[in-house]
């Protein structure tokens, strides 16, 4: 008996969905727009996270030594840094290697190379490139280096300067942009969700009006509210499933076209590759959200009518 009711409920829902084709199409299209916004928020978030990770991977602390810094003192400082739990790598660049790298970077700038040759020597000093195990640990390393520099007399310190503040500002600025974009995206998504619920709600109300005589007969013969509500909730779920699948199908060509562009602009992420790799997650979020929106709006619409 239970399965018979389930079958009848599902069949009635499918019949209602196809019978009201234009109304169903309008609800599906509006819900598809909402789901596209949700998908866009997911993709934008992935792009920002990938960009931030890419930038963080390139961030390091540059420690420049004075020209007359002794190699033994530099080696002692390198050993101290390496022993710190926050430090992942300390790369030593000698003054000679720094000069070679400088000439390579400016090989097409004849004026700069000419000025360098006129100096008659190597104006560059040795340096460290320090990478932390986690970006949040750079502050501790900078503090350690600052203490090393400040605790020595001006004539005894081997550290000329520590370069990190610009990198820190860039990361903090990007974090603020990501937070702001996430808030804006959430507001837009909530707005479209409300619009979808209202439209689906009114669509179901229209379907209820069309079937009002059948509902009256069902209530007269003693049908339960759950049995009456079932076909309309089924219609709402169908709206969600169809719009969710349609959204995923539309995302395939869009991400295929946009993917190479996002990979080439420095984000480090190809959206098409992300779409394929996270298809299960996207399917669960998009179709799941659509089913919840459709079922919820249908339930509220029928509930309001049955109380009337």
Q: What is the pLDDT along the chain (308 residues), one digit of tens a residue?
A: 555 556 665 565 566 666 666 767 777 887 888 788 888 888 887 887 787 777 767 777 888 888 888 888 888 888 888 888 888 888 888 888 888 888 888 787 777 777 777 777 777 888 888 888 877 787 888 888 887 776 655 556 788 888 876 666 766 776 677 677 667 767 776 777 677 667 666 766 666 666 666 666 666 666 666 766 777 777 778 888 888 899 999 999 999 998 888 877 767 788 899 999 999 999 998 888 888 877 777 777 766 656 65
273 in a structural domain: yes
Instruction: Please check whether residues 179 and 107 belong to one and the same domain.
Output: no
CA distances from 109 to 91, 104, 113, 183 (A): 27, 10, 6, 46
Instruction: Please check whether residues 151 and 278 belong to one and the same domain.
Output: no
What are the backbone angles phi and psi of residue 65, rounded to the nearest 5°? -100, 155
222 in a structural domain: yes
Instruction: Please check whether residues 83 and 190 belong to one and the same domain.
Output: no
Instruction: Please check whether residues 6 and 112 belong to one and the same domain.
Output: no
Residue 151, number of CB atoms within 10 A of its CB? 9
User: Which residues 6+ apart lie within 8 Å of 100 measured at CB?
Assistant: none
Q: Strands of 127-132's sheet, edge to edge?
A: 87-93, 127-132, 61-65, 159-163
The b/e string for 97-109 (b: 16+ C-beta within 10 A; e otherwise) is: ebeeebeeeeeee
Single out the residue in 157, 191, 224 at which a domain terminates: 157
Instruction: Please check whether residues 223 and 275 belong to one and the same domain.
Output: yes
60 in a structural domain: no
User: Which residues 6+ apart lie within 8 Å of 91 measured at CB?
Assistant: 128, 129, 130, 131
Instruction: Please check whether residues 122 and 142 belong to one and the same domain.
Output: yes
**DSSP secondary structure letter of residue 137:** G
Instruction: Please check whether residues 184 and 132 belong to one and the same domain.
Output: no
Give the total number of structural domains in the chain: 2
Instruction: Please check whether residues 212 and 145 belong to one and the same domain.
Output: no
User: pTM for this structure?
Assistant: 0.64
Single out the residue in 130, 157, 184 at which a domain terminates: 157
Look up tokens 């050993």; give the residue. 79
Q: Give the residue numbers spanning the domain of 120.
A: 67-157
């Amino acid at each position: 008996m239970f399965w018979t009711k389930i079958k009848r409920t599902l069949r009635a829902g499918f019949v209602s969905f196809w019978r009201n084709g234009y109304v169903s199409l309008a609800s599906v299209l509006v819900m598809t727009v909402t789901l596209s916004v949700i998908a866009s928020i997911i993709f934008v978030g992935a792009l920002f996270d990938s960009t931030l990770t890419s930038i963080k991977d390139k961030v390091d602390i540059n420690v420049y030594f004075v020209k007359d810094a002794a190699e033994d003192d530099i080696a002692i400082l390198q050993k101290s840094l390496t022993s710190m739990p926050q430090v992942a790598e300390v790369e030593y660049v000698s003054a000679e290697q720094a000069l070679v790298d400088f000439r390579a970077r400016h090989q097409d700038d004849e004026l700069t190379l000419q000025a360098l040759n006129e100096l008659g020597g190597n104006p560059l000093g040795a340096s460290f490139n320090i990478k932390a195990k986690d970006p949040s640990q750079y502050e501790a390393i900078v503090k350690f280096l600052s203490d090393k520099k400040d605790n020595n007399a001006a004539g005894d310190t081997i550290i000329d300067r520590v370069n990190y503040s610009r990198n820190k500002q860039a990361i903090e600025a990007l974090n603020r942009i990501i937070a702001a974009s996430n808030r804006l995206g959430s507001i837009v998504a909530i707005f479209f969700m409300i619009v979808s619920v209202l439209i689906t709600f009114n669509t179901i109300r229209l379907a209820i009006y069309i079937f009002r005589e059948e509902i009256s007969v069902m209530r007269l013969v003693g049908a339960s509210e759950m049995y009456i509500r079932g076909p309309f909730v089924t219609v709402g779920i169908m709206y969600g499933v169809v719009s969710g699948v349609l959204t995923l199908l539309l995302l395939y060509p869009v991400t295929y076209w946009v993917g190479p562009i996002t990979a080439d602009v420095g984000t480090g992420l190809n959206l098409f590759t992300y779409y394929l790799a996270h298809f299960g997650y996207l399917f669960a979020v998009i179709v799941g959200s659509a089913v919840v929106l459709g079922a919820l709006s249908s339930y509220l619409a029928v509930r309001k009518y049955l109380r009337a």
